[in-house]
Amino acid sequence: MEDERDEMPETADTSTDATAAETANDGLATDLARTAEANKGRGAQKVERKAKRFEVKDVNLYYGKFHAVEDVSMTIEPNRVTALIGSSGCGKTTMLRSLNRMHELTPGASVKGQVMLDDEDIYRANVDPVEVRRLVGMVFQQPNPFPTMSVAENVAAGLTLNQRGISKSDKAEVVERSLRGAHLWDEVKDRLDRPGSGLSGGQQQRLCIARAIAVEPEVLLMDEPCSALDPIATLAIEDLIEDLKGRYTIVIVTHNMQQAARASDSTAFFNLEATGKPGRLVEMGPTQEMFTKPGKKETEDYVSGRFG
């Protein structure tokens, strides 16, 4: 099965021919069924830690006067993988960055609406945005290890900021636990003191995931974490995501329809009515439904590759 997945194209079939698009959809449905079957055994052994749920209510996001995302309400379930999909510029990254208050780091950017993380509104006055970003970690499109830091220092970078008094041995323990959690320990345990930038792209991305989980977040946001990776490294990250969802709430932005179908439980489709208009959430649902019988034609056209 893994071999078949390696050969899949990066994006959905872009044919405008309905039959070809339906065939592409059937392929996805088959892939989904296989994935579900393969996951059955794996899921049974997992011990889930209760992570946190997001309730996004009437969120509008702006860059200065530009209205980038309009009226989004959605629930992001704990211990599940939620994929955000949609064409370029529809606001996926903007939406993702509003979930850990990174959006407001852009000068002039603003947020209206409410983002509840369990029973806490992360935008309430007195809530510390630095603590929000610890609870809601982020992994970016391009792996971005700190180039002058060693592998171990990269993993511990967030700890140093958050827990200044941490002892050396505690730090070593967190580094090992995080690298094991990111499925990277065996590959780097003999080079912990070497520069993080000396790792391969896929290893660097897992290093960034180790860095994100070292500070014990509740949620992991991932913005196209595999777009710079080859198919083997991509599958390694997807396996890792599947493993991590037992402990975290995961939100992943992806342009790769097969990846959304394989790796997520829920899918949220964003779209733009027209250029210059704000992006909006068209619909959200269980991934299998979104890819096989979505509620809206707009979604069907996108997931079957008729536009986007």
Q: How far is the CB of 148 from ligand ATP (least distance, A)?
A: 27
- Sequence-distant (≥ 6) Cβ neighbours of residue 168 within 8 angstroms: none
Q: What is the CA radius of gyration of the chain?
A: 19
93, 150, 203, 304: residue in contact with ligand ATP (rule CB under 6 A): 93
The binding track of 178-217 with respect to Mg ion, each residue x by CB under 5 A or -, is ----------------------------------------
Residue number with CB closer to Mg ion (93 or 288): 93
Given the complex with ligand ATP, which of 109 and 236 has the nearer CB atom?
Answer: 109
Judged by beta carbon distances under 5 to 8 A according to partner kind, the member of ligand ATP, Mg ion, none in contact with residue 134 is none
Residue 72 binds to ligand ATP (criterion: CB under 6 A): no
288 with 276: CB under 8 angstroms? no
Q: How far apart are CA 124 and CA 50, in angstroms?
A: 23
254 binds ligand ATP (CB under 6 A): no
Contact call for residue 198 and ligand ATP (CB under 6 A): no
Two tokens at 190? 């003999």
Centre a 10 Å sphere on the Cβ of residue 111 and count the other Cβ atoms it contains: 19
Q: Is 80 in the site for ligand ATP (CB under 6 A)?
A: no
In the complex with Mg ion, the residue whose CB is nearer, 93 or 267, is 93
For residue 289, what is the enclosing H or E element?
helix 287-292
63 is a contact residue toward ligand ATP (CB under 6 A): yes
Please state the closest distance from residue 152 (CB atom) to ligand ATP, in A: 32
Beta strand spans in the chain (E): 54-63, 66-76, 81-85, 109-117, 120-121, 136-139, 219-223, 249-253, 266-272, 279-286
Choosing from 25, 35, 79, 93, the residue that interacts with Mg ion (CB under 5 A) is 93
Indicate the DSSP class of residue 278: P
Using CB under 6 A, list all residues that contact ligand ATP.
Answer: 63, 66, 68, 86, 88-94, 106
